[in-house]
A and B are shown apart, each in its own frame.
Chain A
Amino acid sequence: NAGVTQTPKFRVLKTGQSMTLLCAQDMNHEYMYWYRQDPGMGLRLIHYSVGEGTTAKGEVPDGYNVSRLKKQNFLLGLESAAPSQTSVYFCASSLQGSRYNEQFFGPGTRLTVL
């Protein structure tokens, strides 16, 4: 099992450009999450999904969109990148909700917006 994988690992964008981050999991998990990690702030939830075809907003959703067309994939899109979106992005998945269940994390995508 590969677990949770993220593509790409690194990316540099110019302000206003768009991009999509791909997350894939092979554990048949229902729940998937996108977080951003900034220094001194821990991880903050951007969007999440409780199953194929569903998405919902987390703590910091502005400027991002997501889609979950297939159970194993969760895409994070930036339509018009801004320097404030420079961050490390982590995808995670869990079998069910996060109250009792461990989240499994991908290795992260480091995004720089110039």
Chain B
Amino acid sequence: AQSVTQLDSHVSVSEGTPVLLRCNYSSSYSPSLFWYVQHPNKGLQLLLKYTSAATLVKGINGFEAEFKKSETSFHLTKPSAHMSDAAEYFCVVNAKTSYDKVIFGPGTSLSVIP
């Protein structure tokens, strides 16, 4: 069975400090993994995705994530937080070829303190 765990429901950082949002997955198959961001009252937007190529994936707005198979993790990082990064972040796994097996994590709310 597939599942996604986002270890923190809320993360708070100061502007200019690093961001780490944690995601662990469970899958019987080689997964595809995604991070989406949702700003208040908006739809979701893709930050980055892993689809079995390079394990270190770079996304938009300075975010990156590293796929670690041994740890079943896909943590999202950014070296320096900006006020505009305050949003909800979703880790998503798809471990089957069928389209109806996309699983969303519960989300991590990121606050950025000036």
Q: List A residues at the B interface (Cβ < 8 Å).
A: 4, 31, 40-45, 48, 50, 56, 58-59, 90, 92, 94, 97-100, 102-103, 105-108
Q: How many Å lie between the Cα of A40 and that of B36 in the bound state?
A: 15
Q: How far is the CB of B109 from chain A (nearest CB, A)?
A: 10
Given contacts A102-B46, A106-B43, whether A41 and B99 have CB atoms under 8 Å apart is no
Interface residues of B (CB under 8 A from A): 4, 9, 32, 34, 36, 41-46, 49, 51, 90, 94, 96-100, 102, 104-107
Which of A31, A40, A97, A107 is in CB contact (< 8 Å) with B42?
A107
B42 proximity list for chain A (CB < 8 A): 107-108
B104–chain A nearest beta-carbon distance, Å: 4
* B45/A45 in contact, CB under 8 A: no
CA of A45 to CA of B105, assembled, Å: 13
A58 in contact with B104 given A98-B94, A100-B32, A105-B45 (CB within 8 Å): no
Contact: A99 with B97, CB < 8 Å? yes
Give complex CA distance A23, B94 in Å.
24
**Which one of A4, A45, A107 has the highest number of Cβ atoms from chain B below 10 Å of its Cβ?**
A45
Report whether A90 and B43 are in contact in the complex, using a CB–CB cutoff of 8 Å: yes
